[in-house]
Amino acid sequence: MEKREKELCRLALEAREQAYCPYSGFAVGAALLCDDGKMYTGCNIESSSYSPSICAERVAFAKAVSEGERDFVAIAVAGANRGEMPKTECPPCGVCRQVMAEFCDFEKFIVLMVKSKNEYTKCTLKELFPWAFGVENLQKGD
């Protein structure tokens, strides 16, 4: 997996170049690896009214899911001030974690947080998002 992990991190860094972040100045890129080997990238896209803004991770998921993908292996995320290289990890926000929880296996899905050009921190979705709310928590009528 190591070679593909590095490739995913490289793609996440590259995707940052497309970030539309005039309000925060914080450019994020993501690269999502599907079970069939395809990779989908995303960048954050902000709005002047702020709440319609969307994170890089969810853009990557939306692109993949809308192409019919349902099985996911790993995602790489890279974030830093626009024009700078990451100096530390960009952990996915809570909303993005919930979207990952919708589609991904907690034990198997890998999250790679890019730390610098050649370093990343790796964890499972379970480590990133313990005690997630899930479909099993929905109370259906008796």
Over its C-alpha atoms, the chain yields an Rg (Å, rounded) of: 15
In whole angstroms, the minimum distance from the beta carbon of 137 to ligand THU comes to 23
Task: Return the residue of 9, 31, 33, 57 that touches ligand THU, per CB under 6 A.
Answer: 57
Residue 110 binds ligand THU, judged by CB under 6 A: no
14 vs 139, which CB is nearer to ligand THU? 14
86 vs 92, which CB is nearer to ligand THU? 92
Tokens of 20: 């539309």
Residue 93 binds ligand THU, judged by CB under 6 A: yes
Residue 21 binds ligand THU, judged by CB under 6 A: yes
Best CA proximity match to 103, nearest among 130, 66, 65, 75: 65
What single-letter DSSP state applies at residue 60?
H
Q: Which amino acid is at 56?
A: A
Residue 96 binds ligand THU, judged by CB under 6 A: yes
Q: Where does this chain touch ligand THU (CB under 6 A) — which range of 49-57, 64-72, 100-108, 116-124?
A: 49-57
For the stretch 15-24, what's the b/e string if a residue is b when 16 or more beta carbons lie within 10 angstroms of its beta carbon? Answer: bbeebebeee
Catalytically annotated residues: 57
Residue 114 binds ligand THU, judged by CB under 6 A: no
Q: What would the DSSP string read from start to end of 10-59? A: HHHHHHGGG-B-TTT-EEEEEEEEETTS-EEEEE-B--TTSTT-B-HHHH
Point out which residues bind ligand THU (CB under 6 A). Answer: 21, 24, 26, 28, 44, 46, 53, 55-57, 77, 90, 92-93, 96
